[in-house]
Every structure is written in C-alpha cells, then in structure tokens.
Amino acid sequence: QVQLVESGGGLVQAGGSLRLSCAASGSIFSINTMGWYRQAPGKQRELVARITSGGSTNYADSVKGRFTISRDNAKNTVYLQMNSLKAEDTAVYYCRFQGDSRLYWGQGTQVTISS
C-alpha cells in the first residue's frame, strides 16, 4: 500500500519561511506529476504548485516568486519551500502524486501564518 507522509507544517510569523516535505512510504514506480494543494476554511482546494517528471513547474499566481517546488526521485519525495509567507497562505496543505495510473494524496499538514 502506498501512503504519502507529510511533514514540515506549523506556525510561523508573516515574512518567515517553511519547508514542507512529502514522501511515499511504500513502493511506487512511474511517478509522473507531483504537486501541492491547499485548502482554507470555507474554500475549495486549490493548486499551489506542481512539477512533472521532466522537471517542468507551474505555480499559482499568488505564490509565484515566493514558493519553490522540487523533487528527489531517489527518495520518492517532493518539497515545497515557502518564503515571504503571508497570512493569506494559512491553510491545510496536501501533497499529491500521480503515478501507476492512480492519484495518491497526503493526509494534509496545517500551515498557519500569524500577522
């Protein structure tokens, strides 16, 4: 069974930085796209950033220039480096892997930014 385990969430002040990690705990092959999504109370889940197997990336307009997504294929891990954090970034963050013709979701990690 493949499970995605997230870490790195927490409480930080506006202007600070945080790095999220998400690693597959089981065996998985042919991972295509890795991505990060977030969901704030009362709002729909939205795409934050994603990276393809070829290294192409795209970001939500609200995080461009502040967040960086990267991956380590040897560790089956995706990272999200978040800098210059704002109160509006407060949400539960979920990682997602696309592979083996399936979608896998992490359990979510809370990120709270104090202003």
User: What would the pLDDT profile of 4-56 be if each residue is shown by its tens digit?
Assistant: 999 999 999 999 999 999 998 877 777 899 999 999 999 999 999 999 999 99
Question: Which among 23, 18, 10 is positioned nearest to 84, based on CA atoms?
Answer: 18
What are the backbone angles phi and psi of residue 83, rounded to the nearest 5°? -120, 165
80: nearest Cα among 72, 42, 32? 72
8 Å CB contact between 53 and 33 = yes
Residue-wise pLDDT for 52-83, tens only, equals 999 999 999 999 999 999 999 989 999 999 99
Residue 25, pLDDT score = 86
